[in-house]
């Protein structure tokens, strides 16, 4: 398997574009009447989950920057405190958020993250950081967008209840969409 920086950049670009399509498809499927309905994630409504997803490209770009520099983030805070801070921040950032504003927020962060793929030096992809008690290389930090969408898209699709969208999910993600999956760190 070719693991050259050029191949890695190509893979990362494809994964990022796949994430952009997943976010847009999910957002387009959200009807206005469910925008403030509870999601399958306890304590979060659809608007809050979508808003959290909309923030993820910019958050991944920050994580890439941390990994490039080797600086850590919130490694000693209790996970319950980190989760509480996350809920509070999401609730503040999503007040009055419209679907159009969520799309703009996602796309603005996405452009920043996508541009970083070409700015990373060939020798930087293995640089690492520890953030939220997890180890991330620069290459891995780019993939955080996909992981976040894996966690949160099902929480919106579960409310929409569209069989075609549900069929696109893995069995584990289908369980999350149905409110039966592991949501411990995403409440």
Q: What SS3 state is found at 25?
A: helix
Single pTM value for the model: 0.86
Radius of gyration of the chain (CA): 17
> Long-range contacts of range 102-107, CB-CB < 8 Å, 24 or more positions apart?
102/27, 102/50, 102/51, 102/53, 102/54, 103/24, 103/27, 103/54, 105/51, 105/54, 105/55, 105/58, 106/20, 106/23, 106/24, 106/27, 106/53, 106/54, 106/56, 106/57, 107/20
Q: Is the pLDDT of residue 185 over 70?
A: no
Report the CATH architecture of 5-177: Up-down Bundle (1.20)
> How far is residue 112 from each of residues 99, 102, 115, 117, measured CA to CA in Å?
20, 16, 5, 9
The predicted-structure confidence for 52-110, as pLDDT tens digits, reads as follows: 999 999 999 999 998 898 887 655 677 788 788 888 999 999 999 999 999 999 999 99
The predicted-structure confidence for 121-147, as pLDDT tens digits, reads as follows: 999 999 988 877 788 899 999 999 999
Q: Is the pLDDT of residue 181 over 60?
A: no
Report the interhelical angle of 144-160 vs 5-29 (nearest 10°): 20
């Amino acid at each position: 398997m070719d693991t050259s920086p050029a191949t890695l950049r190509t893979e990362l670009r494809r994964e990022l574009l796949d994430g952009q399509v997943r976010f847009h498809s999910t957002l387009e499927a959200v009807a206005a009447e469910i925008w403030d309905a509870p999601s399958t994630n306890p304590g979060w409504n659809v608007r809050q989950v979508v808003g959290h997803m909309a923030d993820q490209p910019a958050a991944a770009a920050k994580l890439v920057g941390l990994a490039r520099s080797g600086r850590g983030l919130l490694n000693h805070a209790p996970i319950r405190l980190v989760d509480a801070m996350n809920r509070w921040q999401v609730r503040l950032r999503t007040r009055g958020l419209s679907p159009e504003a969520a799309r703009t927020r996602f796309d603005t962060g996405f452009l920043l993250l996508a541009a970083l793929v070409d700015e990373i030096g060939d020798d930087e992809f293995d640089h690492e950081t520890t953030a939220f008690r997890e180890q991330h290389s620069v290459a891995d930090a780019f993939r955080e967008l996909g992981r976040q969408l894996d966690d949160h898209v099902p929480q919106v699709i579960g409310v929409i209840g569209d069989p075609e969208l549900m069929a696109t999910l893995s069995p584990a993600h289908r369980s999350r969409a149905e409110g039966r999956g592991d949501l411990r760190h995403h409440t």
